[in-house]
Amino acid sequence: MNDRDEGPLSSSPGDASRALIRALDTATLATALAGDADEGWPYASLVLVACDVYASPILLISQLAEHTKNIAADDRVSLLYDGTGQKSDRLSGKRLSVLGRAVRDDTPGTAARYLARHPSAERYSGFSDFGFFRVEVTRAHLVSGFGRIDWIDRSYLLFAEEPATELAVPMAEAELIAEINEDHLQIIRYLAESLGLPGDDWRVSGCDPEGFDLLFEEEIERINFPKPVLTLDEVRVAFNQMRERIFQKK
């Protein structure tokens, strides 16, 4: 999946880190092995990820998985987001290690955000041995290329909660997305076409203060707003401005 910019965003380390978290749908989860002779050793596994509107990572994992057993014994985790895939020199690309604690979170909003990003997970998300977890971020380590390294505290990594509360209401976000997909279908199709995306049935699957996600089957593309939006009305204005720019180009 690629990170698509509809406009310039701030290039601060915190903003660049959130952009990776919001754009990527897989990450490497590191936990400490529990309960055997290798207890305490680092254990890494590939997981599907989503995030809430503030960019806190969300996981859906099974109690049968080794990483879930490890979290039960020690909830400290690290997630590696690898944004280097489009680079010929992989080490020149961005990668982010997020440190935090994985806590069980079965609130409807958390489940809705994850399943909007990974619709196929709905067939097993209700199984008794699966649970949603949110990573309560402590800090993160961003490498943007050779010599471009930053430690980022939680307050600079996550989007500020107070301004974004309106977008954090699950029902409000769901109604907004349904409205966008109905009223702005032409814009969505034009965006997909202009980005060279295969398929003609792309839909908005998620929206947050910094952008929105396009979904087609299991493919996800990230579109960033030119500047953050904090209310539902500001999202509507942003899409109307997008439509005006598109029509001006045609």
Kindly state the average pLDDT of the residues 144-154. 90
Cβ-contact 67, 31 below 8 angstroms: yes
Measured between alpha carbons, how far is 143 from 219 in angstroms, rounded to an integer?
26
Cβ-contact 235, 229 below 8 angstroms: yes
- The predicted-structure confidence for 186-236, as pLDDT tens digits, reads as follows 889 888 888 888 878 999 999 999 999 999 988 899 999 988 998 999 999
- Which residues, including other chains, have CB under 8 Å from residue 211's CB and lie 6 or more apart? 6, 22, 222, 223, 224, 225
Measured between alpha carbons, how far is 70 from 72 in angstroms, rounded to an integer?
5
Query: Considering only the top CATH level, what class is 170-249?
Result: alpha beta
* CATH fold of the domain at 8-158: Pnp Oxidase; Chain A (2.30.110)
Here the tokens at position 132 are 């949603």
Domain ranges of the chain: 8-158, 170-249
pLDDT at residue 183, rounded to an integer: 87
Q: Write out the H or E segment, with its range, that includes residue 241.
A: helix 232-249
Kindly state the average pLDDT of the residues 5-25. 79
Kindly state the average pLDDT of the residues 108-118. 94
Cα–Cα separations (whole angstroms), residue 113 to 9, 167, 171, 210, 233: 23, 12, 11, 15, 20
